[in-house]
Amino acid sequence: MRSKTAIILLFVIALLSISALGCKGEEKKPEPEKKPPVVIKIGAVLPLSGKSAAYGNWIKEAIELVKDETNSSGGINGSQIEIIYEDDKGEPGTAASAMQKLTEIDKVPVVYGSWVSSCVLAQAPIAEKTKTVLMAEAISPKIREAGDYVFRFDPDVRISLGKLMPFVLKQKHLKNATFYINNDFGVDQAEVFKKGIEEGGGKIVFQEGYDPNATDFRTALTKIKKLKPDAIFIPSYLEMATILKQIDELGIKSQIYSSFPFENDNIISIAGEAAEGVIYPFFFDSESSDEVMVKYQTDYQLKYGRPSEGFAALAYSGMTIIVDILKKVGPNPDQIKNELYKVKDYPSPFGPVSFDEKGDIDIPIYIKTVQNGKFVVLNK
């Protein structure tokens, strides 16, 4: 009996041992650690503080809209987009440092911005040296020759003033003054305007630049008043509101012309009635019924609670093109550059857009003005 019991016990122990060995053999191997999703980094250098901050932050909003739309719909072939923002404050030296950091440390294939011409011209040599695509929103003619990797989603000033000049001459505004911000943006426009006026049979009786940090413009404006010009051309940024108020205070009755950055609701808010009747060229018709424009405005309004202005719309279009190219060729700067030169008739809020052999776009330009506190198209 005892021997039977011993045999049974030994049998049970053997079964348990075999079972344990079997379980050990079937023990699951730990699953390999999941790698985080691949992220494609894109740089953005913009004036996010300082006097041009409104423009830079509008552009940032549009870039964020493209990023969110892209990431929520699967990203770039499964990879999420990350935007690395750098604030250049509208200062060329800061813009160059930001570009250096994005290209050498972050190793981004594309940088969007800056918005200030002087900043773009400071970034361009770095873009060429590092072979990084730079997509700018700036209008200086010098940018057209800035390099093979430099593109811009903003018409050259020669195009916009080329549309304005016939209008000025048609109004018989032949005796003109030019008062401009003293940087690449202002200097280049003053020269293009002067050339157009003189070729059209008019003359410039006053041409002077002001310090970008100036707040009191009365000395120069008093000189202009004595000359009684038919018109004054003032390419400037947000300080345009102060200039207009001081023009009104001094009783200057000349017609005022300006350029792209004039379309800024903050200028009307500050200048009030002094902004009425200012005439300027611009590329954005917010009332357009174009299908792409309507969708863009709907999406922008949904995200930010207000309609988009023009510079954000440019950024949205430029970034959408970049995203589509990234989906096609990946984050390879040389291939991105080559594909950008091939862009033809791309649908945008401005209509079909294409890049020419110098990386510039050509979009419709309207002549606009301020009527009853609103920006309106004159030559629809």
pLDDT tens track, the chain, 380 positions: 445 444 444 444 444 444 444 444 445 556 655 554 589 999 999 999 998 999 999 999 999 999 999 999 999 999 999 999 999 999 999 999 999 999 999 999 999 999 999 999 999 999 999 999 999 999 999 999 999 999 999 999 999 999 999 999 999 999 999 999 999 999 999 999 999 999 999 999 999 999 999 999 999 999 999 999 999 999 999 999 999 999 999 999 999 999 999 999 999 999 999 999 999 999 998 888 889 999 999 999 999 999 999 999 999 999 999 999 999 999 999 999 999 999 999 999 998 999 999 999 988 899 999 999 999 998 75
Distances in whole angstroms, Cα of residue 305 to Cα of each of 61, 296, 298, 299: 12, 13, 10, 10
Are 349 and 296 within 8 A, CB to CB? yes
Would you kindly state where each structural domain of the chain is located, as residue ranges?
39-155+288-364, 158-282
Same fold, 39-155+288-364 and 158-282: yes
Under 8 Å between Cβ of 81 and 75? yes
H runs (alpha helix) in 27-91? 53-72
Q: Is domain 39-155+288-364 annotated with CATH 3.40.50.2300?
A: yes
Tokens of 27: 């023990």
* 76 within 8 A of 103, measured Cβ to Cβ: no
Q: Using CA atoms of 211, 216, 218, 219 in order, give the dihedral in degrees to the nearest 10.
A: -50
**If you classify domain 158-282 with CATH, what class do you get?**
alpha beta
Report the C-alpha gap between 362 and 347 in whole angstroms.
13
Share of the chain residues as helix, strand and coil, in percent rounded to the nearest 5? 50, 20, 35
Give Cβ neighbours of residue 218 (< 8 Å, ≥ 6 apart).
Answer: 246, 250
- Measured over the CA atoms of residue 234, residue 238, residue 242 and residue 244, the dihedral's sign is positive
Q: Are 157 and 174 in contact (CB under 8 A)?
A: no
Q: Which two tokens stand for residue 278?
A: 């200012």
Angle between helices 310-329 and 333-341 (to 10 degrees): 120
